[in-house]
């Protein structure tokens, strides 16, 4: 067994040992995007390597951590509700509460003053200091920006999956879409050196990981801070690493999704033919007000370029309804765009004004009822498209990376195909964490069903 495998086993063994002994325990809950999920894996890894054990219930922990998201008012409400639960636990027993992530960065010390039950506040650039602070201080706030990439020790990551790994390649965002709080909570773009990214992915491949998901808030802006090479070249190099089967990257910005990136996707088999390309609106006047940096026509040209190179590519997007000034005509333009592109999946949201953003200074003039109705109309139209798309897949045999049991139907396994669609399937043998072949037998709008095909 090589040294890399040994290191990973040491992290897992450490976790087991911590559970058996009288080690202090921590609970962590994550809201928000994949970047937050990855950060939580880093935080958990740091704690475990210093003798802490991870528990699934805050009631059983000495330290409860909430990794927060500030992107919409609703995400903050969810955090406050969990904080309320932790406060009740703290009334009955000794518990330290740490708030990390984007709300922590946004509110900083204010949060500590407003909610005295909180002990620690850490922003996204301060996780490496967590151990030092919780071991030595009763209360603390750490929300300093770092202008350079801070490398996390690779041996101290507690990954939730044994086959699919998140690999951050950049952080922050320079785009300043007028509705979006991310640039204010994650700061300006910082790029991770390509040699470190490649080192981490080689280790993962050696450990038996089959899929990597490269992460960055605006990943198409990535370039190596040392050599200047762009994302397309990095992808090309990652695709040469033995052992890996699938490579994905999120989130791309339409304005700098280059032909080179599309060409690497088309030529390198390991790079999944799947792309999340947020459009936000189908109306040019709204796109302009959002400061998205492209028109509807330019977005559609990018889609055409992708489909010309990869007719079978699976595309998904994000949509906001009810942005200030959005008329019925603007909204209809978005509906038409969905009909034109026929995405495999969309994520849609009602506009929510966020502090510090440009749009928060404008009147939020689309009434809640109108936003609600537009969201329903949009989702219904998309549901119809997904049913039609999915119907064409029945009878096909596809590769599926099994990630566990289906939550709703535990007798079935659950996984994802190359297009990143959810597949629930029957199998007579145990297939968790394996890449298998599944024949699609039926479908719904949001998932496919199937059965294992013997090799």
Question: Could you list the residues that contact ligand SF4 (CB under 6 A)?
Answer: 173, 175-177, 180, 182-183, 217-218, 253
Binding residue (CB under 6 A) for ligand F3S from 46, 69, 121, 134: 69
| Per-residue binding letters, 152-171, with ligand F3S (x by CB under 6 A) | --------------------
At 179, list the tokens. Answer: 């509705």
Q: Is 286 in the site for ligand SAH (CB under 6 A)?
A: no
Report the C-alpha gap between 121 and 137 in whole angstroms.
12
Residue 67: name the closest of 56, 55, 83, 45 by CA: 83
Contacts of 272 (CB under 8 A, 6+ apart): 246, 247, 248, 265, 418, 419, 420
Q: How many helices (H) and strands (E) does the chain have?
A: 14, 19
- Minimum Å gap between C-beta 360 and ligand F3S is 15
Contacts of 77 (CB under 8 A, 6+ apart): none
Residue 70 contact, options ligand SF4, ligand F3S, ligand SAH, none, Cβ 5-8 Å cut-off depending on partner type: ligand F3S
Binding residue (CB under 6 A) for ligand SAH from 180, 272, 366, 400: 180
- Minimum Å gap between C-beta 69 and ligand F3S is 3
Report the C-alpha gap between 355 and 307 in whole angstroms.
38
Q: Is 83 in the site for ligand F3S (CB under 6 A)?
A: no
Q: What is the Cα 163 distance to its own chain's centre?
A: 16
Q: Is 36 in the site for ligand F3S (CB under 6 A)?
A: yes
Q: Is 185 in the site for ligand F3S (CB under 6 A)?
A: yes
Report the C-alpha gap between 32 and 119 in whole angstroms.
22
Tell me which stretch binds ligand SAH (CB under 6 A): 7-15, 221-229, 346-354, 446-454: 346-354
**DSSP string for residues in 228-263:** --BHHHHHHHHTTSTT--EEEEE---GGG--HHHHH
Q: Is 71 in the site for ligand SAH (CB under 6 A)?
A: yes
Report the C-alpha gap between 115 and 103 in whole angstroms.
13
Residue 219: name the closest of 180, 179, 266, 255 by CA: 255
Binding residue (CB under 6 A) for ligand F3S from 43, 70, 315, 436: 70
Report the C-alpha gap between 357 and 350 in whole angstroms.
16
Q: Is 35 in the site for ligand F3S (CB under 6 A)?
A: yes
- Minimum Å gap between C-beta 80 and ligand F3S is 15
- Minimum Å gap between C-beta 72 and ligand F3S is 8
**DSSP string for residues in 179-247:** T--HHHHH-S-EE--HHHHHHHHHHHHHTT--EEEEE-TTGGG-B-TTT--BHHHHHHHHTTSTT--EE
Q: Strand 211-215 vs strand 246-250: parallel, antiparallel, or unpaired? A: parallel
At 330, list the tokens. Answer: 């603007």
Residue 176 contact, options ligand SAH, ligand SF4, ligand F3S, none, Cβ 5-8 Å cut-off depending on partner type: ligand SF4
- Minimum Å gap between C-beta 73 and ligand SAH is 8
Tell me which stretch binds ligand SAH (CB under 6 A): 88-96, 116-124, 162-170, 350-358: 350-358
Q: Is 251 in the site for ligand SAH (CB under 6 A)?
A: yes
Residue 130 contact, options ligand F3S, ligand SAH, ligand SF4, none, Cβ 5-8 Å cut-off depending on partner type: none
270, 246 Cβ separation under 8 angstroms? yes
- Minimum Å gap between C-beta 255 and ligand SF4 is 9
Binding residue (CB under 6 A) for ligand F3S from 63, 71, 140, 306: 71
- Chain positions contacting ligand SAH, by CB under 6 A: 71-72, 179-180, 182, 217-218, 251, 253, 278, 280, 318, 320, 349, 351-352, 354
- Chain positions contacting ligand F3S, by CB under 6 A: 32-33, 35-36, 69-71, 101-102, 181-182, 185-186
């Amino acid at each position: 067994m090589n040294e890399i495998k040994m290191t990973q086993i040491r992290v897992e063994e450490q976790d087991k040992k911590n559970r058996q002994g009288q080690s202090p325990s921590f609970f962590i809950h994550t809201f928000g995007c994949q970047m937050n999920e990855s950060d939580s894996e880093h935080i958990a890894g740091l704690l475990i390597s210093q003798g802490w054990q991870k528990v699934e219930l805050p009631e059983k922990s000495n330290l409860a951590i909430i990794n927060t998201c500030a992107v919409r008012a609703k995400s903050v409400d969810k955090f406050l509700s969990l904080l309320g639960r932790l406060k009740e636990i703290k009334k009955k027993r000794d518990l330290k509460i740490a708030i990390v992530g984007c709300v922590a960065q946004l509110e900083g010390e204010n949060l500590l003053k407003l909610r005295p039950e909180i002990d620690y506040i850490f922003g996204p650039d301060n996780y490496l200091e967590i151990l030092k602070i919780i071991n030595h201080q009763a209360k603390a706030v750490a929300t300093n920006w770092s202008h350079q990439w801070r490398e996390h020790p690779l041996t101290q990551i507690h990954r939730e999956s044994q086959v699919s790994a998140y690999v951050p390649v950049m952080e922050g965002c320079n785009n300043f879409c007028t509705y979006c709080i991310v640039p204010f909570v994650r700061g300006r773009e910082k790029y991770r050196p390509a040699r470190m990214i490649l080192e981490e992915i080689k280790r993962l491949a050696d450990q038996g990981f089959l899929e990597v998901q490269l992460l960055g808030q605006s990943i198409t802006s990535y370039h190596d801070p040392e050599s200047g090479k762009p994302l397309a070249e990095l992808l090309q190099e990652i695709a040469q690493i033995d052992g890996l089967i699938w490579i994905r990257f999120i989130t791309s910005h339409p304005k700098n999704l280059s032909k080179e990136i599309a060409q690497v996707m088309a030529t390198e088999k390991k790079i999944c033919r799947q792309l999340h390309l947020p459009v936000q609106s189908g109306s040019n006047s709204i796109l302009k007000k959002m400061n998205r940096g492209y028109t509807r026509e330019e977005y559609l040209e990018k889609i055409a370029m992708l489909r010309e190179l990869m007719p079978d590519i699976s595309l998904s997007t994000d949509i906001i309804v009810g942005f200030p000034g959005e008329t019925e005509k603007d909204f209809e333009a978005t509906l038409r765009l969905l009909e034109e592109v026929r995405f495999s999946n969309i994520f849609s949201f009602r506009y929510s004004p966020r502090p510090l953003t440009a749009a928060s200074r404008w009147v939020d003039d689309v009434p809640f009822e109108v936003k609600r109705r537009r969201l329903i109309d949009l989702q219904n139209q998309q549901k119809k498209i997904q049913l039609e798309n999915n119907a064409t897949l029945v009878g096909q045999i596809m590769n599926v990376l099994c990630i566990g049991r289906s939550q709703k139907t535990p007798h079935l396994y659950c996984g994802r195909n190359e297009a990143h669609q959810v597949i629930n399937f029957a199998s007579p043998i145990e297939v968790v964490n394996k890449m298998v072949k599944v024949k699609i037998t039926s479908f719904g709008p949001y998932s496919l069903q199937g059965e294992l095909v013997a090799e």
